[in-house]
Structure 1
């Protein structure tokens, strides 16, 4: 899997989000997601929202590790 694939999946599931995904080994990625949808949500809720956009990529083994930094716009 490529960072660009993850970025597109998150953007498709959260069209209002600003998304940046880094990682070049095909399995470990760092993502920064800023979305108005996160307003009033806890970090756990925000991370769950992002992970839901990735479907079964973790369960299938296509995606091994994703570090998330999420926030609502300032």
Structure 2
């Protein structure tokens, strides 16, 4: 079963309460999403580490309920 965009956003916000999160359904199929996550929690982390942190926030759903996630992470300016 696919995840809904609001569910993805909620999981990310739970892990990064300060984050600005935008989740977009890229294909209109509820299976391919894009997410932009801006959080101070990414300070000092490599891009790979930032992405791993977001994947961890999804609690194992990546590759299961969530098929594809184009991820963009950043620090607040």
Q: Tell me the TM-score normalized by structure 2.
A: 0.89
Corresponding residue number in structure 1 for 2:17: 15
Q: Tell me the TM-score normalized by structure 1.
A: 0.92
**Cα offset for 1:58?**
2.0
Q: How many residues align?
A: 73
Map Cα deviations across residues 42-73 of structure 1 (whole Å, 9 max, x no partner): 100100011100011125x2000001000001
Corresponding residue number in structure 2 for 1:39: 43
Runs ≥4 residues deviating over 6 A:
none
Q: CA RMSD in A?
A: 1.0
SS in 2 for 1:41: coil
Distance across 2 between alignment mates of 1:58 and 1:73: 25
